[in-house]
Chain A
Amino acid sequence: MFSFTKEQKVFDISGISVGGQPGMHPTVLFGGLFFKGEPDFDDAKQHLQTIFDLSKQTGTPVIPDFFVRKVEYIQPIIAFIEKVIPKKHPFSLDIIEPSIKIETLELLAEKKLLSRTIYNSIHIGITKEETEALQKYTPELAIIVAFNPKDTSPDGKIEVLENGAHLTECGLLELVRKIGIEKLLIDTAALAPGENSGAAIAALPVIKEEYGFPAGCAIHNVVEKSRWLNDFPFAKKTVDAASNNAIPLFGGDFAIFGPIENAPLVIPLMAWQDILVSEYTENYFGVSPVASHPRRKLLK
C-alpha cells in the first residue's frame, strides 16, 4: 500500500471526489452502458437504479459511462441522461469518433450539462476539430488515455503525457492545459495479456508520484482479452470483478469496470478493498478516510 510524496490532487465533479492519497477517498467506479451500440433505455434505467442504491448503501461512488456509437444515438442518450440521472450526479460519455464527440459537445452545451460531464476521452488520436470544439464547449473533467503505441511501459505512458511520443504536436498534458480543462483523470491504458498488460497497474503509482493526478484504468479489459479464461466460466466472472481490486492496491483512484451489469458484484467488492486500504493507510500513514468512505459507512 502506498502513500505518495508528491502532493495529490483531488477533483470534485457534482459532489463526487476523486484522487488524493490512498485511503482518503473511495475508488470511483465507472460502469459502462450501451457498449454494443443501440441503447436499451428500459434496461439501462434498471441498472442505474441498482448502482445508485448500491452506492448509497456502501459509500462507493459510481458514475455511469455512456457509449455513443452513432450520431443518431446522441440526442436520445442525452435526453435519457437529463431525465434519469439525478440533477447533481455526474456522468461520463465514452465516444471514439471525433465527429460524434463534437456533435455531442454542442448538445451538452445547449442543454447546460457540461458541468456534470466527464469527457472520455482525450488521447493521441485527437483531431484539430475536436480540440477546437473542446475549447468552445469545455467539459468539467476529462479522462486522458496515456496510450503510447511506441512504448507500453509506465515510462512510455509518461512520455505520451509529456511530449505525445512525438506523434502529436505537444504532450497530452500541455494539450489539455491549452484546451482549458483543469480537472483530469489519467487512464493508464490497459493492454492485452502478452502486450505488457501489467503496465497499466504498475503505471498507477508512477503517474501519481510524478504528477499527483488521479489515475486509474479499465483493467477489466485485460480479463476480457484473456481468452484462456473462457475455459473457466465460473472463475471468469470473479476474476473480472476482482481485477479492479488491483487499482486501489496500487494507489489508483478510479476503475472503469466494464458493463454496468457487473455492478452488484464489483461495488461491494471495491468497498471491501477500500476499507482494507483505508485501515492500513490510516494506521501507518495517518490518512483519514472522508465521511462518505465505505469504512465509515459499513464499519460502525
Chain B
Amino acid sequence: MRQKLKTSVIGSYPIYIDTLDVIKDYFSEQQTSWTKYIDQAVHDMTSAGINFVSDGQTRDPFIQLFTRNLRGCRIRDRTEILGPVQYTGPITEPDQKYAKRLLPRNTGLIGVLTGPYTLMKSSLDFFYHDEKQLAFDFAAALRNEAELLLKHVDLISIDEPFFSNELPDYAKELIGTITNGLSRPTRLHVCGDVSRIIPQLVDMPVDILSHEFKASPYLFDLFREYSSVKKMCVGAVRSDDVIVETVEEIVTHVKKAITIFGDTVVQIAPDCGQRMLPRDIAFLKLQNLVKAGEIINGG
C-alpha cells in the first residue's frame, strides 16, 4: 500500500499588510508587529487542512527576506552587495518559532530558504565580481540559518527559481553546502521550465524535488525516465492563475503524476508561492488541493 500523500505549500501566502495601521503605530510610538500577518497566513493554511505549512513569508519578498539580514548586503531599490556576505544571526527563525506555536498537532512546518543562486542572481554585485564565490558565501550563510531552523521545522525547502534560467556547473555542490548532513528532510523547489536540467535536478543532494507540473504538464513526460530516482512534490494548482482548479481536475492531475512517479510522489502543492494571488483565491486553491489529497488517499 502506498504511503499517504501530504499536502504542502511552497512558501509565500498573500496577506494584505495594513500600511495605515503600520504608520499609526509609528506615530503613536509603537513598534511594528508582524505577528498578526503570520497569524492570518498560518490560519488560512491550517484551516484549509494543509499538512506542511509555512509562515507565509509575509514580512518581505523572498529575496529581501534574507538579504536584509545578511552582512555585506544593502537594500535600497534592489539588493546591493557591498562587502563579504556573512551570517550575523537569525533571519527567519523568529517567525518560524512563532508560526510553530500556531500549528495544530500533526501539522508540519516548512523552513523555507531562498536559494543561494537566486539570491546571487537577484543582487547587484559591487564587491565580489565573482558569481560563484558570492553564491557560495550566500550558501554558507543559509547553512547557518538552516541549522538554526532544524529544531523548529519538519522540512527544509530551498527555493531556486533561477536554476530554470541557467544551472551553474557548481549547482550540486552549492545546494549541498546547505543540505549535506542536515537532520531533517530537504526539498528543492525550482519553478519555471526545468525541461533542460532534469538529469542534474534528480542528482541534487535533497530528498524531494518540487516543480510546477500544473502550469507545465509536459514535464511529466520529460521526467518519465527519471521517475523512480527522487521523491516528488507535484505542483497541482497554478500560482499564476486566479481560476480555481476543481477537486476533480486536481485528482486527475495527481493520478497522472502517480502513474508516472508511483510511490515517489509524496507531496502535492501549489506550483509556486501564492503571493501574487488574491487571498480568497489562494485559500480556495488550498482547500481544493486538500480535498483532492483526501480522495487520492482514499478518504
Partners in one complex: yes
Interface residues of A (CB under 8 A from B): 96, 98, 123-127, 145, 147, 149-151, 155-156, 158-159, 162-163, 166-168, 171, 189, 192, 195, 221, 225
Q: Select one of A123, A151, A192 contacting B23, CB under 8 A.
A: A123
Q: Select one of A149, A158, A166 contacting B22, CB under 8 A.
A: A149
Instruction: Tell me how far the C-beta of A151 lies from the nearest C-beta in chain B, rounded to whole angstroms.
Output: 6
Interface residue? B130 (CB, 8 A):
no
The answer to whether A167 and B76 touch across the interface, beta carbons within 8 angstroms, is: no
Interface residues of B (CB under 8 A from A): 17, 19-27, 29, 31-32, 59-61, 64, 68, 74-77
With contact pairs A96-B24, A155-B75 given, residues A166 and B61 touching in the complex (Cβ less than 8 Å): yes
CA distance A87 to B46 in the complex (A): 61
- The binding surface of chain A is classed by DSSP as loop
CA distance A163 to B74 in the complex (A): 14
Q: Select one of B17, B31, B76 contacting A159, CB under 8 A.
A: B76
The 9 tightest CB contacts between A and B, nearest first, are A125-B23, A149-B32, A125-B20, A162-B77, A124-B19, A158-B76, A125-B19, A147-B26, A167-B19
CA distance A192 to B25 in the complex (A): 12
The answer to whether A163 and B20 touch across the interface, beta carbons within 8 angstroms, is: no
- The binding surface of chain B is classed by DSSP as mixed
The answer to whether B22 and A124 touch across the interface, beta carbons within 8 angstroms, is: yes
With contact pairs A96-B27, A166-B60 given, residues A151 and B75 touching in the complex (Cβ less than 8 Å): yes
A126, A127, A159, A168 interface centre (most CB from chain B within 10 Å): A159
Chain B residues, CB < 8 A from A158: 76-77
CA distance A84 to B187 in the complex (A): 69
CA distance A145 to B32 in the complex (A): 16
Which residue of chain B lies nearest to A167 when distances are taken between CB atoms in the complex? B19
The answer to whether A166 and B23 touch across the interface, beta carbons within 8 angstroms, is: no
CA distance A147 to B21 in the complex (A): 13
Q: Select one of A124, A151, A195 contacting B31, CB under 8 A.
A: A195
The answer to whether A166 and B64 touch across the interface, beta carbons within 8 angstroms, is: yes
The answer to whether A156 and B75 touch across the interface, beta carbons within 8 angstroms, is: yes
With contact pairs A150-B68, A151-B68 given, residues A163 and B77 touching in the complex (Cβ less than 8 Å): yes
CA distance A166 to B29 in the complex (A): 22
CA distance A189 to B29 in the complex (A): 11
Add 14 more A-B contacts to A124-B23, A127-B20 (CB < 8 A).
Answer: A96-B24, A123-B23, A124-B22, A145-B23, A149-B25, A151-B75, A155-B74, A155-B75, A155-B76, A159-B75, A167-B19, A168-B19, A189-B26, A192-B29
Chain A residues, CB < 8 A from B61: 166
Chain B residues, CB < 8 A from A123: 23
Pairs across A and B, CB under 8 Å, 29 listed = A96-B23, A123-B23, A124-B23, A125-B21, A125-B22, A125-B23, A126-B19, A127-B20, A147-B26, A149-B25, A150-B64, A151-B75, A155-B75, A158-B76, A158-B77, A159-B75, A159-B77, A162-B76, A162-B77, A163-B77, A166-B64, A167-B22, A168-B19, A171-B77, A189-B26, A192-B29, A195-B31, A221-B29, A225-B29
CA distance A167 to B58 in the complex (A): 11
The answer to whether B26 and A150 touch across the interface, beta carbons within 8 angstroms, is: no
Which residue of chain B lies nearest to A225 when distances are taken between CB atoms in the complex? B29
Chain A residues, CB < 8 A from B68: 150-151
Chain B residues, CB < 8 A from A127: 20
Instruction: Tell me how far the C-beta of B46 lies from the nearest C-beta in chain A, rounded to whole angstroms.
Output: 26
CA distance A151 to B73 in the complex (A): 13
Chain B residues, CB < 8 A from A149: 22, 25-26, 32
Chain B residues, CB < 8 A from A171: 77
Instruction: Tell me how far the C-beta of A175 lies from the nearest C-beta in chain B, rounded to whole angstroms.
Output: 12
The answer to whether B76 and A147 touch across the interface, beta carbons within 8 angstroms, is: no
Which residue of chain A lies nearest to B33 when distances are taken between CB atoms in the complex? A149
CA distance A124 to B21 in the complex (A): 10
The answer to whether B76 and A98 touch across the interface, beta carbons within 8 angstroms, is: no
The answer to whether B77 and A98 touch across the interface, beta carbons within 8 angstroms, is: no
Chain B residues, CB < 8 A from A162: 76-77
CA distance A162 to B59 in the complex (A): 18
CA distance A267 to B14 in the complex (A): 49
CA distance A5 to B64 in the complex (A): 30
Chain B residues, CB < 8 A from A159: 75-77
Chain A residues, CB < 8 A from B24: 96, 125
Chain A residues, CB < 8 A from B29: 192, 221, 225
CA distance A171 to B21 in the complex (A): 18
CA distance A158 to B75 in the complex (A): 9
Chain A residues, CB < 8 A from B32: 149
Chain A residues, CB < 8 A from B74: 155
The answer to whether A150 and B60 touch across the interface, beta carbons within 8 angstroms, is: yes
Which residue of chain A lies nearest to B61 when distances are taken between CB atoms in the complex? A166
Which residue of chain A lies nearest to B80 when distances are taken between CB atoms in the complex? A155
B25, B26, B31, B77 interface centre (most CB from chain A within 10 Å): B26
Which residue of chain A lies nearest to B23 when distances are taken between CB atoms in the complex? A125
Chain A residues, CB < 8 A from B17: 167
A124, A145, A149, A225 interface centre (most CB from chain B within 10 Å): A149
The answer to whether A147 and B20 touch across the interface, beta carbons within 8 angstroms, is: no
